[in-house]
Amino acid sequence: MALAQIIYVSRPAQRMSADELTELVEASEKRNAKRDITGTLLYSAGNFMQLLEGELTDIGNVFERVRCDARHTEVRALLHKNVTKRLYPEWGMLQMDIGRSAPLNLGRMERMIYEVRQSRDTQQFGIEARMLLSDFRLQLA
């Protein structure tokens, strides 16, 4: 089994209520648990960021389903790599702030990954994933 991570960002096609977000998270947790997919889902200021960890094929299928889902727009993968261990062996927390809207600076996030990879081999570590999750929170704080 090839353990891998993917981090993607997206925006909801329409404004979502807190109840709709809760339903989305609960359904995702159930579906992903059946495939041993773990990770974390963040939502703030009209932006989703999700880290998925699991079998390479399984997380690829989940990402493709999200990419084709009409409820998501501007779906963009920021990180996709093989890893030796999970950052989130149990599903992470959803952060909600449904009252604001702000764009993410995706170029900034991509530059961070590029710069880290230039300075060290990160294949076995979750360095880029930690940086992206932290920057998502920082940009939208």
HEC string of the chain equals: CCEEEEEEEEEECCCCCHHHHHHHHHHHHHHHHHCCCEEEEEEECCEEEEEEEEEHHHHHHHHHHHHHCCCEEEEEEEEEEECCCCCCCCCCCCCCCCCCCCCCCHHHHHHHHHHHHHHCCCCCCCHHHHHHHHHHHHHHC
Domains of the chain, residue spans: 3-140
Read off the pLDDT of residues 56-79 as tens digits, 9 standing for 90 and up: 999 999 999 999 999 899 999 999
**Burial state string for 44-56 with b = 16 or more CB within 10 A and e = fewer than 16:** bbbbbbbbbbbeb
Residue 29: pLDDT band with limits 50, 70, 90 = confident
Q: Evaluate if pTM is beyond 0.75.
A: yes
Topology, domain 3-140? Alpha-Beta Plaits (3.30.70)
Residue 7: pLDDT band with limits 50, 70, 90 = very high
